[in-house]
Amino acid sequence: MFATAFHTSRHYILFTVMACLCVLLGGPSYAAGADNLFIAGATYNEPGVSGPGWAWTTADHLELIGYVGEAIGADGDLVVTLVGQNSVVETHAPDADISMSGMEVWGNLTLCGPGSLTATGSQCGIHVAQALVVDGCTVDARADGAGVLDQTVAGVAAGSLTVRGGGHVVAAGAGSDAGLRFYGVRLLDEGFGTDAASKTLAVDASRLDATGTDAGVACERGSLVAAHFVTPVGGAFGAASVVDADGAVATHVMIEPEVAAGPAGETVTPGGEVPGDGTGEPAGGSDPAAGKPGAGLATDPAVKPVATSPKTTVTRTTVTKTTKPKSTMETTPALPKTGDSYWTAASLTLFLLGTMLLSAAYRC
């Protein structure tokens, strides 16, 4: 009887060890895409649904086709394909999780496609916990701080921002409330943790026009590929924001491709003088965002190379989302769905541990 009980106990040990290994080793791959979608005042838990101007086809893919309506939110990673002109505005329902943003994604967000998106909110036009990528489309994100208390306001708030593929982003955060801080683009580290990619701006042969009462772009690091600062002249990435040639924080930041077509076939020479009519206005100064906050100044002098002069530091503040109980836009651990190298090391360690336990159980 003792032998039978011991044999049964050994099988329980083996079963428990294998179950633990399956759960732990499967960590990096679970929860691909969004767990749920919030759109037009309704919450959906499974893809395969649609409505006027939108279709949630798979867990990580949403199509907007001329959508005009209330806020969109996703609890996880999402790729949004834009077709035609689309517009989202914050949801005013008192029990809505994203009532102060036009679009809010608690993971990574990629905006792509041939269309455009206008996102408007009180605190954020677009809020993304991790990486925001704008790939080839046009995005206009604005926030005015209406009804926001003791927090920061930004057209775009994200862990990092990449604009590529000829994309065009206009971001504006402006208001008169002395108790708030306003940014065009505010890069955070809430979803990245200590990841080196957090608080990073990257513009690759694309356009960015950001205006904020306190800073046009607040970030810790950045890179320009086939693009240059038009405003401020002599602009550079400072310790906490984009600064001008004198190291002062720039409230208006405009980045354009190195070679931008101008009227009558004129071009802007990379790193050189800007052809024009002698008034100081760049020949390619006609911008799709003209007439909007953050549009280029007519008196901008010739573009200079990025300066490396000493930079000043902007007082860092954290954007706090009071309407999202599970996170308040403060620093939080990175989501496991990113599948970084730490999981590889942990998986190998757990596998070796499991092998040792199995061997020991068999010997018993």
pLDDT, tens digit, for every residue of 314-363?
333 333 333 443 333 433 323 333 334 444 455 555 666 666 766 665 56
Which phi and psi (to 5°) does residue 305 adopt?
A: -60, 160
In the structure, how many helices (H) and strands (E) does the chain have? Answer: 2, 25
Cis peptide before 232 (omega within 30 of 0): yes
The amino acid sitting at 333 is P
- pLDDT at residue 93, rounded to an integer: 63
| 83 or 178: which leads in pLDDT | 83
Taking only the tens place, the pLDDT of each residue in 9-35 is 454 444 444 444 443 444 333 346 888
**320: Cβ–Cβ under 8 A, 6 or more apart, which residues?**
151, 152, 328, 329, 330
Measured distance CA(279)–CA(129) in Å, rounded = 43
Q: With 0.85 as the threshold, say if the pTM is over it.
A: no
- pLDDT at residue 197, rounded to an integer: 78
The tokens for 21 are 């290994």
Question: Judging by DSSP bridges, how do beta strands 227-231 and 49-51 pair with one another?
Answer: unpaired
- pLDDT at residue 270, rounded to an integer: 40
Tell me which residue of 29, 317, 62, 35 sits closest to 190, measured CA to CA. 317
Measured distance CA(20)–CA(15) in Å, rounded = 9
Computed from CA positions of residues 121, 115, 68, 52, in that sequence, does the dihedral angle turn out positive or negative?
negative
CA dihedral 263, 268, 274, 278 (to 10 degrees): -10
Q: How confident is the model at residue 175 (pLDDT cuts 50, 70, 90)?
A: confident
Measured distance CA(40)–CA(180) in Å, rounded = 28
- pLDDT at residue 40, rounded to an integer: 86
- Looking up tokens 């590889």, which residue turns up? 344
Measured distance CA(286)–CA(260) in Å, rounded = 10
**285: Cβ–Cβ under 8 A, 6 or more apart, which residues?**
262, 276, 296, 298, 300
Mean pLDDT along residues 214-223: 96
* Sheet-wide strand order for 207-212: 68-70, 85-89, 116-121, 138-143, 168-173, 207-212, 252-257, 227-231
